[in-house]
Amino acid sequence: MTLFDKFNSNDNYRQGFPSQSPLADKMRPQELGDFIGQEHLVGPDKILKRIIDGDRLFSMIFWGPPGCGKTTLARIIARKTKSRFISFSAVTSGIKQIKDVMEIAQYEKKTHGKRTILFIDEIHRFNKAQQDAFLPYVEDGTIILIGATTENPSFEVISALLSRCKVFVLNKLSPEEINTLLNKAVSDKEKGLGNYNIDIERETLKFVSRFCDGDVRVAYNILELAVSSLLQKDEGEIIKIDIPLVENIIGKKALIYDKNGEEHFNLISALHKSLRGSDPDAAVYWIIRMIEGGEDPLYIIRRMVRFASEDIGLADPNALSIAIAAKNAFDFIGPPEGYLAVIEAAIYLALAPKSNALYSTFKNVENDISQYQSLPVPFHIRNAPTKLMKEIGYSKGYLYPHNFEDAVVYQSYLPDELKDKTYYSPTGRGFEKELMERIKKIKDSKEKLRKENL
Name the CA dihedral angle for 298, 66, 64, 301, rounded to a multiple of 10 degrees. Answer: -10
Under 8 Å between Cβ of 108 and 83: no
Element (H, E) at 344: helix 338-351
Q: Which of 81-85, 253-257, 361-365 has the lowest mean pLDDT?
A: 253-257
pLDDT tens-digit series, residues 122-181: 899 888 888 888 889 899 888 899 999 998 899 889 999 999 999 999 999 999 999 999
- 373-431 confidence digits (pLDDT tens): 999 999 999 998 898 888 888 999 999 999 998 999 999 999 999 988 999 999 999 99
Question: How distant is the alpha carbon of residue 159 from its chain centre?
Answer: 17
What are the counts of helices (DSSP H) followed by strands (DSSP E) for the chain?
22, 7
Q: Based on C-alpha coordinates, what's the Rg of the chain? A: 32
3-state DSSP of 248-277: HHHCCCCCCCCCCCHHHHHHHHHHHHHHHC
Distance CA 161, CA 90 (A): 15
* Nearest one of 270, 302, 308, 303 to 289, comparing CA atoms: 270
DSSP designation for 313:
G
Beta bridge partners of 240: 199
The per-residue pLDDT for range 264-305, each reduced to its tens digit, is 889 999 999 999 999 999 999 999 999 887 788 999 999 999
In the predicted model, what is the mean pLDDT of the chain?
87
Q: HSE on the CB side for 194, CA within 13 Å?
A: 11
Rounded to an integer, what distance in angstroms lies between the CA atom of residue 339 and that of residue 329? 9
Where on the phi/psi map is residue 279: left (φ > 0), alpha (ψ -120 to 50), or beta?
Answer: beta
Q: How confident is the model at residue 235 (pLDDT cuts 50, 70, 90)?
A: low
| pLDDT computed for residue 259 by the predictor | 62
CB atoms within 10 A of CB 272: 18
**The pTM is what?**
0.59
* Higher per-residue confidence, 263 vs 260: 263
Q: What confidence category does residue 434 fall into, taking pLDDT thresholds of 50, 70 and 90?
A: very high
CA distance 330 to 339: 7
Q: What percent of the chain has pLDDT over 90?
A: 54
Under DSSP, the state recorded for 306 is H
Position 9 scores a pLDDT of 43
SS3 172: coil
What's the confidence (pLDDT) of residue 383? 92
Give me the domains of the chain, ranges plus CATH numbers. 3-169 (3.40.50.300), 175-250 (1.10.8.60), 262-351 (1.20.272.10), 375-452 (1.10.3710.10)
Of residues 8 and 123, the one with the higher pLDDT is 123
Among 416, 412, 406, 417, smallest CA distance to 445 is for 406
Q: Are 144 and 40 contacting, i.e. CB atoms less than 8 angstroms apart?
A: no
Nearest-angstrom CA–CA distance, 192 and 198: 12
What is the signed CA dihedral for 265, 267, 268, 273, rounded to 10 degrees? 120
pLDDT of residue 49: 92
9-29 pLDDT, tens digit per residue, is 444 333 333 356 899 999 999
Burial per residue of 59-80, b for 16 or more beta-carbon CB atoms within 10 angstroms, e otherwise: bbbbbbbebbbbbbbbbbbbeb
Q: CB within 8 A of 111, min separation 6: which ones?
A: none
Question: Distance between CA atoms of 46 and 168, rounded to whole angstroms?
Answer: 12
- Asked which of 237-251, 324-338, 360-374 is least confident by mean pLDDT, the reply is 237-251
Q: State phi, psi for 206 to the nearest 5 degrees.
A: -65, -40
Q: Give the residue, 350 or 14, on which the prediction is more confident.
A: 350
